[in-house]
Structure 1
Amino acid sequence: MRTALITVASAARREHLERQRRVIAELADDIVRVEAWLDETPPDGVAEAGTLTVLVPPGPHGLRVGEGRNRAADAAIAAGAELLVFLDVDCLPGPDLLPAYRAATRAHPDAVLCGAVTYLSSVQRPENLDDLPFLTRPHRARPALGPGETRRATDREYDLFWSLSFAVTPATWDRIGGFHPGYEGYGAEDTDLAWSARAAGVEMQWVGGADAYHQWHPVSSPPWQHLDDILRNGGTFFERWGAWPMGGWLDAFAAAGAIERRGDGWVRVR
């Protein structure tokens, strides 16, 4: 099963990308490697031998993460990929990630496949593939199954979809339609993809053993630096689906007096 490993990257995550590249090299697997670069131009020396590089510059409101994944998927399919594995630039693939996704694909060829993600702490900086299994501690907000196990997601669990690590066949990707290109900057494109899958009757499967490891970086809660993105992208989502995503963040911003509800929408007041 010819497999593509797809990552979107930017200069801000160059160090994480380099560590991801080193770990992927240890997989010793015959894969189609595709990297979508989201800045205006890729920095000198970003291209890696044997890797397809796609440039997707920012839009007027920020990085086009979803569109970057779309174009990288197009490149992977054109190169003959039979399975598309999307891995966030912050994530390192565990030693069994690709075999687990391939096995799940054989069992559920028409599904979106989602592996577990471990969030590493600031002091955990693994440099080798063999280090990763000892650090496994899947995020508690998502199901974590044993190796070789799969479970179909409930309708409500589509809201738990993360693009940090997932896999689909090209036929299923085409059925979903990929990421909606109307999202720029932070937020909502993941939930939109999941809702598009659900609306198209595509099942989602949780996959045991397909572990990924999210490299640490500073975060804020709620993410104040992304407030305008959340309101804009949340509004786009509402126009498409009649509901607002990222409700936890919106409630936190409202509690702090930064936004307020007006009619069906949210408005920034400071």
Structure 2
Amino acid sequence: MRTPERPGREAHRAHGAQPSPRGGTADGRRIAVITLVAGRHRHLRLQQAGLAAGTRPPDHYVVVTMGDHTVPDAVAGGCPAMDTLPVPLDAAGRLPLAAARNAGARRAVAAGADLLVFLDVDCVPGPALLARYAETAVDGALLCGTVAYLPPPPPGGYRLASLPRLAPPHPGRPVPGDSEVLRDGDHRLFWSLSFALTPRTWHDIGGFCEEYSGYGGEDTDFASTAAALGIGLWWVGGAPAYHQHHPVSRPPVEHLDDILRNGALFRSRWGTWPMEGWLRDFAGLGLVTYDGARDTWRKTADSGSLAEG
């Protein structure tokens, strides 16, 4: 299937001269870490501590606040310093994940970054994460690292030195050795929890499609565009991140409307439905039905009360 046109992609290329890196370190990179946040201040502070403890500090730490104006006060005084960038919720009050990532990338590139590292706010970087991304990144590659899902924190909270012992990397993704890079990855396994790429690769992909809003779909769309452009997915060993525990619902019934809306958008762009596991789980609960003749998922009459409850 052809690559959907991205608004602004040609504009990116028309202004395609990248800013010259300013500053930088011995590895020759100017690294920007980009994180989105709405609440989760404690998680953000531990991520900040993990970056400070790393073998390679970031040159720029862009924290995009989505409808949360309390972040600057909640994390004031920490290191590395955060460049907070407010982005409003969308008109329906949903988190604008795609638009927020794009805004963070624009801020980082304008400041001279030549490597963009995206970390979910729940993710604490391992000590060598930035260094491994920096030494591996090339134009035309989309990098991902392993992520381990941590158990609930012990009394007193998580300790950075203990994180590797608390959980193994997620078994549903490749786990390369510390010095390995596994190329030719399956783009369907891409996740936005921890990934990195050069600004040129970012602009070639066109950023995230901002038609997505709320939960789900935008990261699968991003990876699908990368695959259609021949941009490889590389799994980088020695670049672990540790996902801090928080309560979740399985399936995520509170996101039912977002998943149906974003899933239908993805299907219109790529011809298939994403998040099919969740959709089947919703069907098992009687929340949705599948119309095979139209290749469409629809809410049932009972879905409102169950999704709200």
Pairing partner for 1:253 from 282, 286, 304: 282
1:112 maps to what in 2?
142
Note the 1:31-110 alignment, pairs <5 A.
Answer: 31-39=59-67, 41-43=69-71, 45-46=73-74, 48=76, 50-61=81-92, 62-105=94-137, 108-110=138-140
Show CA shifts across 1:178-237 (max 9, x none). 111011111111101100101111111011111000000001111111111100110111
2:168 maps to what in 1?
137
Alpha-carbon distance, 1:131 to partner: 2.7
Show CA shifts across 1:17-61 (max 9, x none). 122122222236252110000116345614646322111111134
CA distance in 2, matches of 1:30, 1:104: 16
CA distance in 1, matches of 2:123, 2:226: 23
**Cα gap change, 1:242 to 1:120, in 2 (>3 Å):** same
CA distance in 2, matches of 1:172, 1:250: 32
The DSSP-based 3-state class of the residue aligned with 2:257 is helix
CA distance in 2, matches of 1:225, 1:198: 30
**Cα gap change, 1:173 to 1:223, in 2 (>3 Å):** same
Pairing partner for 2:179 from 129, 135, 148: 148
Note the 1:154-169 alignment, pairs <5 A.
Answer: 154=185, 157-169=186-198
Matched, 1:8 2:36: yes
Amino acid of the residue matched to residue 59 of structure 2?
I
CA distance in 1, matches of 2:74, 2:261: 31
Aligned length: 264
TM-score (norm 1): 0.93
**Cα gap change, 1:133 to 1:109, in 2 (>3 Å):** farther
Q: Which runs of 5+ in 2 are unaligned?
A: 1-28, 303-309
The DSSP-based 3-state class of the residue aligned with 2:73 is coil
CA distance in 2, matches of 1:136, 1:2: 31
**Paired residues of 1:41 and 1:57 also in contact (CA < 8 A):** no
2:52 maps to what in 1?
25
The DSSP-based 3-state class of the residue aligned with 1:103 is helix
Alpha-carbon distance, 1:151 to partner: 1.1
Pairing partner for 1:235 from 250, 264, 271: 264
